[in-house]
Amino acid sequence: MPSTATRTLAPDANGIAQAAAILARGGLVALPTETVYGLGADARQGRAVARIFEAKGRPRFNPLIVHVDSAETARRYVAWPAQAEALATAFWPGPLTLVLPLRDDAGLSPLVTAGLDTLAIRVPAHPLARRLLAAFGGPVAAPSANPSGRISPTTAAHVLAGLSGRIEAVLDGGPCPVGVESTIVGLSGTPVLLRPGGLPAEAIEAALGTPLAAPGGDETAPDEAAPTAPGQLASHYAPAATLRLEAHAPRAGEVYLGFGSGACDLNLSDTGDLTEAAANLFGHLHQLDAGGARAIAVAPIPHHGLGRAINDRLARAAAPRG
């Protein structure tokens, strides 16, 4: 594809105005959200959405999340059952994506949903994402701003490392506070946990008053044949190094990514705090990659709360590459 000079936009009124103008003319802007950086395009412009897939080298069948400024705006695009209202009231803006039936009059590019009759939608909490959505005034389709299959970006530098020359700009909002992608819940039937993420499933179940079904089964053993969300391929979030999980100590030649107290090369959280570990996860993998690590051993991480999302991403990073 033709090379584009990628600009870094400052997190101020001028940067936001420029980012909104780029989106309006069908360009691509990477924007900070509370979870990870997203690669944004106007969800109504087919050519702009197509450029997302081109820039990421992403398979066409993988549908995108649409970002809007409020639950009220979301209702223009999707059917809105009582459970959507309950979860939106409890958790939006925030790291929760709802998959709901797409409205016939939504007016979005069919590329956004990859031809499905449901739409993934969320209201992000990051102040810069919110200001950009307000300035742009339309729906923004945004997958994570990494080349397909690579680690998700949690800083503007990560975005540039993967996509410089392929997108118009990155709005620099510093490190993303949550650090793993949003939790995705399907609400077109029985509530389903499609992807564990930055909002613990336990909190969602408490708000719904019902357990979430888990179509993908055990998140520690992702299965190519039964992806938990379309396009959730087993090998994903991959660093260049191989990963060995649930490792109580490194073997010869491995660098050790720790969790909790104990000797290691880099620690996700030396106090054993899952929120801190989620925020550090992709940044630490990027750092070990940049340092030339060939083999990474990862300490055991508890499987509750945000640990579910962390273990899901680690399992995908460790999966055999296609």
**Interface contacts to ligand TXA, rule CB under 6 A:** 33, 35-36, 38, 62-65, 97, 99, 113, 116, 118-120, 142-144, 181-182, 184, 194, 229-232
63 binds, among Mg ion, ligand TXA, none (CB under 5 to 8 A by kind): ligand TXA
- Give the residue with the Cβ less far from ligand TXA, 139 or 250: 139
- Give the residue with the Cβ less far from ligand TXA, 65 or 68: 65
Q: What are phi and psi of 39, to 5 degrees?
A: -100, 100
Residues 6 or more apart in contact with residue 234 via CB below 8 angstroms: 222, 223, 224, 227, 316, 319, 320
- Give the residue with the Cβ less far from ligand TXA, 260 or 305: 305
Whole-number minimum distance, CB 57 to Mg ion, in Å?
Answer: 12
101 binds, among Mg ion, ligand TXA, none (CB under 5 to 8 A by kind): none
Whole-number minimum distance, CB 287 to ligand TXA, in Å?
Answer: 21
Residues 6 or more apart in contact with residue 264 via CB below 8 angstroms: 250, 256, 257, 258, 299
d(CA 45, CA 196): 30
- Give the residue with the Cβ less far from Mg ion, 139 or 162: 162
d(CA 152, CA 149): 9
Amino acid of residue 91: F
Amino acid of residue 288: L
Instruction: Determine contact, residues 77/108, Cβ cutoff 8 Å.
Output: yes
d(CA 216, CA 179): 22
Among 144, 188, 228, 269, binds Mg ion (CB under 5 A): 144
Beta-bridge mates of residue 153: none
Q: Tell me the two tokens of residue 136.
A: 């742009």
Binding piece for Mg ion, criterion CB under 5 A, among 12-20, 43-51, 113-121, 138-146? 138-146
Q: How many CB atoms lie within 10 A of CB 272?
A: 16
Whole-number minimum distance, CB 264 to Mg ion, in Å?
Answer: 27
- Give the residue with the Cβ less far from ligand TXA, 15 or 216: 216
Whole-number minimum distance, CB 283 to ligand TXA, in Å?
Answer: 15
Binding positions for Mg ion, rule: CB under 5 A: 144
